[in-house]
Chain A
Amino acid sequence: MVENRPFAQFMAYLTLALGVVIVAFPVYLAVMASTFDTATIINGNMPLVPGNQADENYTRTLLYGGMHARQPVGGMMLNSMIMALGIAIGKILISILSAFAVVYFKFPFRKTAFWIIFITLMLPVEVRIYPTYKIVADLGLLDTYTGLVMPLIASATGTLLFRQFFMTIPDELLEASKIDGAGAFRFFKDTLLPLSMTTIAALFVIQFIYGWNQYLWPLLITTKSSMQTIVIGIKMMITTTDALTEWNVAMTTAVLAMLPPVLVVIFMQRLFVKGLVETEK
């Protein structure tokens, strides 16, 4: 601060506190709603302090699901977890290998290969949904984890991130490792991989959140309710006519759906910020 003005300090606190309250309020309401029964919520006078139905709501939602969908939300969370981990791990795996190839080898069509990957930055899933759907259907991958994960792990973000990081590693490390008689595999495993750990972790955090929050793709390719992810599941709970919506179950599900990615952001904040800033470069 250039000058010390108590009033400016006070305004800063006030603005930030107000921001935090606005940001938190919708979630606070959802948490409150997950502690009441449907009747209390439906009449529109839900108290802003917790009720006593939390145990029942969470047990019922996790084990049995809503009245209409009857799909245990615990199973949906498992599906979401498999999809998120599959996307995060798959993306890291294929992109670290391709970045290694592009940066450390000279081979025919290297530039072409890089551009083929690079251009995919411009084609989000949303612009090619039906043709992709048809391909996945033709491959017999509807309602499978492979079908959920595969089309989403191919993207240039990871490859670009690793390429950028590999470029900062001094050439001397490769030369030294060559003199020591290490082959490509040894160099990758003993030198590159240990150095890349922070980048891998940062990419993992971002891709886990990305995978967990997927909506359009799982909505298209899952037809069986047993394959539903939790983000899709909650939508199914509120589409029935108003009077039948079990808002307590829906809001309990919303809280459960937010929990894993939000915890990741809060507890791995440093990695999250690193990943977010660097994947956007």
Chain B
Amino acid sequence: MISLLNNSLTYQKSGENCDMDRQTFAFFGGIYNNYLALAAAIDDANSRGAEKLFCLGDLGAFGPYPDRVFPLLIENDVQTVQGNYDHSIGNGLNDCQCGYTDPRDNHFAQISYDYTLANSSTSNCEWLKQLPTEIRFEVAGLRFLLCHGSPRKTNEFLWESTTSTHFLNRLTDEYQADVILGTHTGLHWSRELSEDRLFVNVGVLGRPANDGQTNVWYTMIEVIQSPGKSQVKLEFIPVEYDWERLVAEMHSEELPVEFQETIRTGWWTTCLEVLPGKERLRGRY
């Protein structure tokens, strides 16, 4: 059973489940070179008892020093899905395949892509190239499917306001999953589906959620198994990190002031054209 409470889907205790087995997982999305936020999120997830850490891709973009992300993922055994950015960097393509339509958005996307490609080591590019495009596992009879954009296309945007519930039901049917987790849009959200199934956009660590706050977000899921049933507790976790240091490093790497402003203010300044109306209205620009 799942139920929604503020930013979390919360398990409702019945008082009868004394023989319960709990497993906790942390899911990170869109790192965008923000190694400082990634390090903070890993520490936070470990402190909350996460047994396994996952990353749903797009390690590069806006931020500085792309190579600083990789040791954190590898040393902490973070199982990682390949995002469109990772596919592009790993294969040395000309752009990030982000799907922007506006010339201004493409201009800024190209700056961060060219910077990331030029500053990624050969061995890290090789590591990106071999990443899987999805990860599946089963816990307590629940089939988890981890992808980047959608199960059917790495760079498909699944926004909260432009994705119908019956479409998500179809995806869970077609891809035989009970819980689908993705990222790619940069905004965290979840939807309860039929037959107690669930879709989750885990959010991103790379930049704030266009809400005027400097923190970033990741997702924790606790699977609770008791005799005869499995339950999911979902929580979106805000992460505070040293964003002032990040901005200083972006400045010293001569990355655009527009990117720095987003980190500093929490409002998106670029890549706005792909936002649906409802999500766009929540932001400043």
Query: Are A and B part of the same complex?
Result: no
| B interface list, Cβ under 8 A from A | none
| A interface list, Cβ under 8 A from B | none
